[in-house]
Structure 1
Amino acid sequence: MSEQALALLLERAKDDEQKAATALHQARLEKENYLRQLQQIEQYRLDYSRQLSERGMQGLTASSYSHLQKFLSQLDETLSRQKAAGHHFDHQITRSSEQWNEVRKQRRSIEWLLDKKQTERQQRLDRQEQKLMDEFATLQFARRMTNQR
C-alpha cells in the first residue's frame, strides 16, 4: 500500500477516533445527567416523605393520607425505573470506550505502518546516496591515479 493511501487512511482513522472520543464523552455526560436527575428525584421523595410525616402529626383524613401515600408509591416506582435505566448508561459508556480503544488501536497501527514505510524509504535513499558517494570517490581515485602516471 502506498504512503499516500496510508496517509488517507490515517486521516480517516483520526476522524473516527475523534468521533469515538466525542461519543464516549457524550455517554459520560448523559450518565452524569442521569445521576443528577436520580439524586433530584430521591431528594424530592425524601422531602415529600418529611412533608407527609409532618402533615400526619397535624392530623390527616384517611382519603388525604391514601392520596399522599399513593403519590409516594408512584415516586418509588419512578425511582425504581430510573435505577434500572442506569444500566443502560453504564453499557453505553462501556461500548463507547471499547469503540474508542478500537479506533485508537487502528490509528496507531496505520501510524506505525507509515513510520515503517518512511524509514524504509529513507534507508533506501541513504543507500543510494552512499552508493553515489562511493562511485564518486572511486572515480576521483581513478582520476588521481591516471593523473599521477
Structure 2
Amino acid sequence: MSASTLSLLLERAEAERDAAAQALHAANAQAQAARAQHGELSGYRQEYQQRWTEQFARATAMDIVACYQSFGQRLNQAVDTQGHVAQHADQREERARDALRQAEMRVAALRQLIKRREAEAKAAADRREQRIADEFAARAHLHRSLHAHA
C-alpha cells in the first residue's frame, strides 16, 4: 500500500472513530436519562404506596381501594417498562463503547503501520545513500591509485 492510501485509510478510520465517540456520547446521555426517569418513577411509586398505606390505616371506602389498586398496577407497569427501557439503553451504550474501542484500535493499528512503512522507507533511503557514498569513495580511491602510479 502506498503512503497516500494508508493516509486515506487513517483519515477514514479517524472519522469512524469520531463518529463512534459521538454515538457513545449520545447513547450515554440516553442511558442516563432512562435511568433517571426510572428512578423518578420508582420514587413516585414509593411515595404513592406510602401515602396510601397511611390512608389505609384510616377507614377507606372500597371504591377508593379499587382506584388505588388500579393505579398502583399501572404505576408498577410503568416502572417495569421504564426499567426495561433503561436496561436496553445501557446495552446500547455498551455496544457503542465497544464500537468506539474497536475504532480506536483500528486507528492505532493504521498509525503503527504508517510508522513502520516510514521507518522502512527511511532505512531503504539510508542504504541507497550509503551505497552511493561507498561507490563514490571506491571510485575516488581508484582514481587516486591510477594517478599515483602514473
Q: Please, what TM-score do these two structures have when normalized by structure 2?
A: 0.87
Deviation at 1:98, TM superposition (A): 2.8
Is the contact made by 2:38 and 2:86 (CA closer than 8 Å) also made in structure 1? no
State how far apart, in whole Å, the 2-side matches of 1:96 and 1:124 are: 42
State how far apart, in whole Å, the 1-side matches of 2:109 and 2:84 are: 39
State how far apart, in whole Å, the 1-side matches of 2:126 and 2:136 are: 15
Partner of 1:52: 52
State how far apart, in whole Å, the 2-side matches of 1:113 and 1:84 are: 43
User: Which sections of structure 2, spanning at least 5 residues, go unmatched?
Assistant: none
Deviation at 1:2, TM superposition (A): 1.0
Partner of 2:90: 90
Partner of 2:7: 7
Partner of 1:137: 137
Deviation at 1:66, TM superposition (A): 1.7
Partner of 1:17: 17
Deviation at 1:115, TM superposition (A): 1.7
Residue by residue over 1:70-100, the C-alpha shift from the partner in whole angstroms, topping out at 9 and shown as x without a partner, is 2111111111112222331232123213322
Cα RMSD (Å): 1.8
Q: Please, what TM-score do these two structures have when normalized by structure 1?
A: 0.87
Percent identity of equivalent pairs:
26
State how far apart, in whole Å, the 2-side matches of 1:87 and 1:37 are: 12
Partner of 2:68: 68
Give the stretch that moved more between structures: 110-119 or 15-24.
Answer: 110-119
State how far apart, in whole Å, the 2-side matches of 1:86 and 1:7 are: 40
* 2:35 matches 1:35: yes
Deviation at 1:142, TM superposition (A): 2.7
State how far apart, in whole Å, the 1-side matches of 2:99 and 2:49 are: 44
Deviation at 1:53, TM superposition (A): 1.7
